[in-house]
Chain A
Amino acid sequence: MLSRTDAKAAGSKIPAGRLTLTDFDLTLPALGLLVLFFVVPVAILLARSVSEPVPGFGNYAELLGSSTYLRIFANTFLVSGLVTFVSLLIGFPVAWALAVMPSRFASVVFAILLLSMWTNLLARTYAWMVLLQRTGVINKVLIGLGLIDKPLPLVNNLTGVTIGMTYIMLPFIILPLYGVIRKIDPAILQAAALCGANRWQSLVRVLLPLAMPGMAAGALMVFVMSLGYFVTPALLGGTANMMLAELIAQFVQSLVNWGMGGAAALVLLVVTLALYAVQLRFFGTDRMGGR
């Protein structure tokens, strides 16, 4: 939501007076759709969390009082954190390279990035399975080269989930970072060098602080998306690495225990909204796309 000062600063045509309903008239169909097909069903599911099987907060007590479920929460944060960290580590150099390379090369790299985003998620995840499994391509090559004797456990565990999800999240960190880095005037880095900064110092004291808004926006986005991820952890993780979304699916579909499913969904929703609030508070909506 744009605040009035933001709107003014952006030179928008939104009148400075109080916003009225008619200012949103074009968004009404979309809002209506969201309310009908998202807000209402979610509200119903959440209502069930305090009404089934008996009214009260029993489901929440069970959810937050059980070591099994707490471990799943912890694992959800661990995986999301790891994926965010590795994405940044890999994404930053790529975004930097994209920003400085000649545009005809950059457009090829972009095409590769976008193509991977447009490929079916399931197909991509299965491809990782084929690559990572014990009898998969990577292990066969490593054994063939004599580097290892026994296949490395790369899938059905934390490693598999992290690799698979990082790969899917990379574009979401590279694109905002690219936007921010490209706007950094190369002359600033030259100035840093002229003032005696070595390459490491220019990176840590000049480039990174300037790129920070893009890094933070991308990292938050990846973290929040990872929290609710389902398909990749289900396929590449073992049962000991279960994430929250899988737990919700299990409650809703296998155990047909909607009370617990609703409770778990609310916890995930609250965490996600809290992080989103942090993002809005510190970066605003206009930075989210890295513009």
Chain B
Amino acid sequence: MRKILALAATAATIATAMPATAADLVFSSWGGTTQDAQKISWAEKFTEKTGINVLQDGPTDYGKLKAMVEAAAVTWDVVDVEGDYAAQAGKNGLLEKLDFSVIDKSKLDPRFVTDYSVGSFYYSFVIGCNKDAVDACPKSWADLFDTEKFPGKRAFYKWSAPGVIEAALLADGVPADKLYPLDLDRAFKKLDTIKPDIIWWSGGAQSQQLLASAEAPFGSVWNGRMTALAQSGINVETSWEQNITAADSLVVPKGAKNKEAAMQFIALATSAQPQADLAKATGYAPINLDSPKLMDAELAKTLPDAQTASQVNADMTYWAENRDAIGERWYAWQAK
């Protein structure tokens, strides 16, 4: 959904590059409950501390970001983007280098730190299942790809991004430490076997709706969405076996008008307490290593942090380099 809504915004930006008010900081994210939580956990704290007003904008749109940088009319100061995009955009010169004299990276999860980006929060693709709708829930990626043992529709993330291809390869028996470079031929062959049974979800809310209504009683979903479904009283089961982590990142577009304030904002957003607050509100994991200590033990247990035993980390560097090629192939395959 976020991409659909973003379309209008892209068109508008290509046409016009509107100046932002210099005194305010503009933060763009993906809308919905996640951005609401970022506003409360980060932006309001930042305004309290520095007196700088934070304007919320969004949804994040990579076409729009590129248009802003090219037109040298950047209205976003801090942007929440997907981790693989951050790595790629940094290489392509669309981002400012982060100032690590302002941002303390010693406490940040090094998996999600680059010269141009730090983690925003991280999440896992897990196997979610509506227990009331089926006799048995799939436990592993192999189960999720087994339509004989587990008949019915399954939900998968629609966009080309880390997660689904990895799941297909793991299901096909590729060992977790041999995933990269991704064997795309093998992955698409495996995906072909369940293609008619896939319902694609394009945003988190849709994945919840699919599982809750049993339209697709199970699927590969973001862990935070399962936590939220469970809280709303739906009998869901989450299998963390080989959960695949990916992260959102915070970046500063090249030529941002309030670069210094942007660095301060990122410093606050990635510090321990605001990260803990965000995790509490969203069910996604903090990227600050000190945050779990500040959280309720019960809650900390439900985060990807506590599920490292069989965790698989999507390789953002690999994705950054191959994002375009994989994307083209992905969408061509989907359209077949």
Contacts and interface: CB of A to CB of B under 8 A. Distances in A.
A213 to B, nearest CB: 34
Given A37-B16, A134-B215, A253 B62 contact: yes
A250 interface: yes
Interface stretch (A24-32, A38-46, A162-170): A38-46
Contacts of B327: 254-255
B77 to A, nearest CB: 21
Interface centre among A66, A68, A133, A256 (most CB of B within 10 A): A256
Nearest to A249: B7
A133 B155 CA distance: 14
B11 A41 contact: yes
Contact of A254 (B3, B14, B335): B3
A69 B160 CA distance: 17
Contacts, number: 75
Interface string A237-257: 011101000010110111111
Given A40-B15, A68-B332, A242-B335, A133 B7 contact: no
Contacts of A223: none
Nearest to A71: B335
A133 B153 CA distance: 12
A133 B160 CA distance: 25
Interface residues of B, number: 31
A68 B335 contact: yes
Per DSSP, chain B at the interface is helix
B4 interface: yes
Nearest to B11: A41
Interface in B322-336: 324, 327-328, 331-332, 334-336
Given A68-B336, A133-B213, A253-B61, A239 B200 contact: yes
A231 interface: yes
Interface string B117-139: 00000000000000000000000
A234 B14 contact: no
20 contacts: A36-B15, A41-B15, A71-B336, A72-B335, A134-B153, A135-B213, A156-B199, A156-B200, A235-B4, A239-B200, A239-B334, A247-B335, A249-B7, A252-B10, A253-B6, A253-B10, A253-B62, A254-B159, A254-B331, A257-B324
Interface of A: 36-38, 40-41, 44-45, 66, 68, 71-72, 133-136, 156, 230-231, 234-235, 238-240, 242, 247, 249-250, 252-258
Interface of B: 3-4, 6-7, 10-11, 14-16, 61-63, 66, 153, 158-160, 199-200, 202, 213-215, 324, 327-328, 331-332, 334-336
